[in-house]
Amino acid sequence: MSSLPAQLGPQRPTVSEVETFPLEHILESPYGTAKGRIPARIGTLVKITTSEGFVGWGESFGPPRFVAPALEAFSRALVGQPIDIRENFAQRIIAENYHLSIGGSHIAALSGIDIALWDAQARTLGVPIGHLLGGVIRTEVPAYASIGYVTENADIDDFRAQLASAAAEGFQAAKIKIGIDPVADRQRAEAALAELGPHGELMVDYNANGTVDSVMRSLRGLLDLDPRWVEEPLPPYQHDGWERVRELGVPLAGGEALYGRFGFREPIANGHFDIIQPDAAKCGGLTEAKLISQLAYTFNRRVSPHCWGTGVAQAACLQLLSTLPDLPFGEFGGTPQFFEFDRGLNPLREGVLAEPILPANGTVAIPSGPGLGVEVDAEWARFHRVEGLFTHVASK
């Protein structure tokens, strides 16, 4: 990666150090989706220090053992570069490594770098990222509980307890995992609504655990429950299948398995999703998440970002949400900008922040401090990172 010509501004802050924090917490009781349970909660934090001494943090989604090597390589190219040159840095890497495809761990690695660069620049200027990302238009957002995970034996009593805990926290909207079989899917959806109460709103998530026929059979049994949306009924590449599921007339959501503008372009243009769900920690960072949101609005689609990581990923998602317009609606009508609040056990989520992001009666305040608006507990992250995977790259 070549440096910028001197005439473009030698006094601009540059990246002087990059440090990575691969994190992993082994779960005593694994939980997950109908596709399978996960053995651990994971994530990789990225810390960037600028030539002026400011620090920016980001997060890369995915297995640290895949993401960390890419982060090390990109960090060496990043040191010495201006902190505000984000898009060109990432797109050049993608273009030069086109044979690696437009998705995967290398894009997740770039996502963490992008978020950290935004954080560093915003902290340099003393403003929240939202002020630079398009302007803050809201200071809080309603949240839905991402819960109802599949546990061992898919126990319905355990499922009810999960939803009861979300309702006790004040959540009136929840997204649950289904895709087990039509009978179990119906049972879980009914149990969720019973726990959420008469004003509860329900989203259902298949995590692509099905075929067109199995999903349509399951969904026909849920139509009378009027789910707010149906998430990932199929893999994103099964284009003809999305068109067939659409015949049932339910709102479809997707995007968490897609990367960058190139991955979202066709599904959005072809109308596969009603609700577009970029994840800043994997789709290319806040730069790409914002661009993907604008692409969605171009096709008159709604946006509801995906978020399933540590407190750093949460803060990045909230900064994005602070800037998203009310499009495509005007003064009246429409739906709220929802924040996905994972309520599964994850000590990393709260542990990485000096003051964790917490819900209050189903609402989450958008951090208003500089950058991401939160403070990372660097010592906690350093103590808990996976040995042998972390890196520290500094300018000479």
The 10s digit of each residue's pLDDT in 335-350 is 888 999 999 999 999 9
Q: Which of 106, 272, 306, 384 is catalytic?
A: 306
Phi/psi for 51 (5° steps) reads -65, -20
Question: Considering the entire predicted model, what is its pTM?
Answer: 0.96
Angle value at C-alpha 376, between 132 and 79, nearest 5 degrees: 65
Q: What value does the mean pLDDT take over residues 245-264?
A: 96
The yes-or-no answer on residue 306 being catalytic is yes
Of 15, 16, 12, 38, nearest to 25 by C-alpha is 38
Answer for the pair 358, 339: CB distance below 8 angstroms, yes or no.
no
pLDDT, tens digit, 9 for 90 and up, residues 172-224: 999 999 999 999 999 999 999 999 999 999 999 999 999 999 999 999 999 99
H/E segment holding residue 45: strand 36-50
Q: Of all residues in the chain, what percent carry a pLDDT higher than 90?
A: 92
- Tokens of residue 137, six digits: 């238009």
- Tokens of residue 66, six digits: 């895949």
Determine how β-strand 363-365 pairs with β-strand 275-276.
Answer: unpaired
Q: What value does the mean pLDDT take over residues 59-77?
A: 97
- Residue 63: the pLDDT is 97
Decide: helix, strand or coil at residue 256. Answer: coil
Q: Of all residues in the chain, what percent carry a pLDDT higher than 70?
A: 97
Sorting pLDDT into bands at 50, 70 and 90, what band is 333?
confident
The domains of the chain are located at 6-126+377-394, 131-365
Distance between CA atoms of residues 214 and 196, nearest Å: 27
CATH number, domain 131-365: 3.20.20.120
Q: What value does the mean pLDDT take over residues 241-250?
A: 96
pLDDT > 80? residue 356: yes
pLDDT, tens digit, 9 for 90 and up, residues 144-182: 999 999 999 889 999 999 999 999 999 999 999 999 999
**DSSP classification of residue 5:** P
Answer for the pair 139, 366: CB distance below 8 angstroms, yes or no.
yes
Hey, how many other C-beta atoms are within 10 angstroms of the C-beta on 188? Answer: 25
Sorting pLDDT into bands at 50, 70 and 90, what band is 3?
low
CATH of 6-126+377-394, one of 3.40.1390.20, 1.10.620.20, 3.30.70.100, 3.30.390.10: 3.30.390.10
Q: 328 versus 112: which is more confidently predicted? A: 112
- Residue 7: the pLDDT is 46
